[in-house]
């Protein structure tokens, strides 16, 4: 892990940009702290870290400044400046075409859109976790939150260092993930946008139902995909504070 730049903010947060092989990412930590901070991984939407930076950094700095967490995010495979993934580009083109002509988005398209990303992203998050937990100022237990729910499902199911996960009930969930969800047993807080245009509400409720976790909370809010209310930031922080501290 190489730190490529760093910046100190007057809210007491140190931001470091890092690279780890082909992966680039950001790490936010308390500038001064006597004890290691529990880590939260934020898996970004696949729109490129550059575009997402303001939202991610705002969220991360709130977690660090107000709750004393360390927070890291990393560019997903095929996103931002990383090499394109042909299989994903093809799936996205198929999705666009289906939506343009009003055809149903088939399970085949959804699988092609999500599963290769899950296959690549999950081991990358595990490698990033290895590198981050080697830093003396960071410790477990680790929280995960992210936008592509299937990545969160797989990671929470296979990676024992993840102790709690905040998930966003999004669209395009491969059928196999409903099975994998039963393997997830850590505490969950799941956000659902009630009027999410591209999202099947009943499927989202069924996925919530499928999780094996004894403690799981669904927060359903009004509005579309991008309309998550600001107060869910605080609710997320308090969820992680309960489980990581």
Contact residues toward a copy of itself (CB under 8 A) are 194, 205, 208-209, 213-222, 229, 231, 234-235, 238, 242
**Nearer of residues 176 and 205 to a copy of itself, judged by Cβ:** 205
Taking each helix axis from N to C end, the angle separating 86-100 and 107-133, rounded to the nearest 10 degrees, works out to 140
Cβ contact 188:211 at 8 Å? yes
Residue 28: burial class (beta carbons within 10 Å; 0-12, 13-18, 19+)? buried
Per-position DSSP letters for 185-201, written without gaps between them? -S-EEEEEETT-TTS-H
Instruction: Tell the smallest beta-carbon distance from residue 216 to a copy of itself (Å).
Output: 6
Pairing of strands 216-221, 188-193: parallel
**Nearer of residues 18 and 211 to a copy of itself, judged by Cβ:** 211
Query: What is d(CA 38, CA 137) in angstroms, rounded to the nearest whole number?
Result: 9
Instruction: Tell the smallest beta-carbon distance from residue 243 to a copy of itself (Å).
Output: 10
Query: What is d(CA 72, CA 15) in angstroms, rounded to the nearest whole number?
Result: 10
Instruction: Tell the smallest beta-carbon distance from residue 201 to a copy of itself (Å).
Output: 9
**Nearer of residues 133 and 235 to a copy of itself, judged by Cβ:** 235
Cβ contact 36:137 at 8 Å? yes
Instruction: Tell the smallest beta-carbon distance from residue 169 to a copy of itself (Å).
Output: 11
**Nearer of residues 78 and 187 to a copy of itself, judged by Cβ:** 187
**Nearer of residues 85 and 210 to a copy of itself, judged by Cβ:** 210
Instruction: Tell the smallest beta-carbon distance from residue 158 to a copy of itself (Å).
Output: 22
């Amino acid at each position: 892990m190489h730190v490529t730049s760093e910046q100190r903010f007057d809210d007491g947060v140190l931001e470091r940009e890092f690279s780890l092989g082909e992966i680039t990412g950001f790490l936010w930590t308390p500038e001064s702290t006597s004890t290691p901070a529990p880590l939260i991984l934020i898996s970004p939407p696949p729109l490129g870290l550059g575009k997402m930076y303001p939202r991610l950094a705002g969220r991360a700095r709130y977690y660090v400044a107000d709750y004393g967490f360390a927070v890291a995010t990393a560019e997903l495979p095929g996103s931002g400046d990383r090499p394109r993934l042909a299989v994903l580009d093809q799936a996205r083109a198929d999705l666009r075409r289906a939506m343009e002509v009003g055809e149903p988005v088939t399970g085949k398209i959804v699988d092609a859109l999500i599963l290769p990303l899950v296959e690549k992203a999950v081991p990358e998050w595990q490698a990033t976790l290895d590198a981050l937990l080697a830093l003396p100022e960071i410790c477990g237990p680790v929280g995960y939150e992210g936008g592509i729910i299937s990545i969160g499902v797989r990671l929470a199911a296979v990676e024992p260092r993840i102790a709690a996960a905040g998930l966003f009930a999004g669209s395009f969930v491969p059928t196999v993930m409903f099975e994998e969800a039963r393997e997830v047993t850590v505490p969950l807080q799941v956000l659902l946008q009630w009027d999410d245009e591209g999202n099947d509400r009943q499927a989202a409720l069924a996925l919530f139902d499928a999780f094996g976790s004894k403690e799981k909370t669904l927060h359903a809010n009004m509005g579309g995909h991008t309309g998550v209310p600001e107060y869910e930031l605080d609710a997320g922080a308090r969820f992680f504070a309960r489980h990581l501290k």
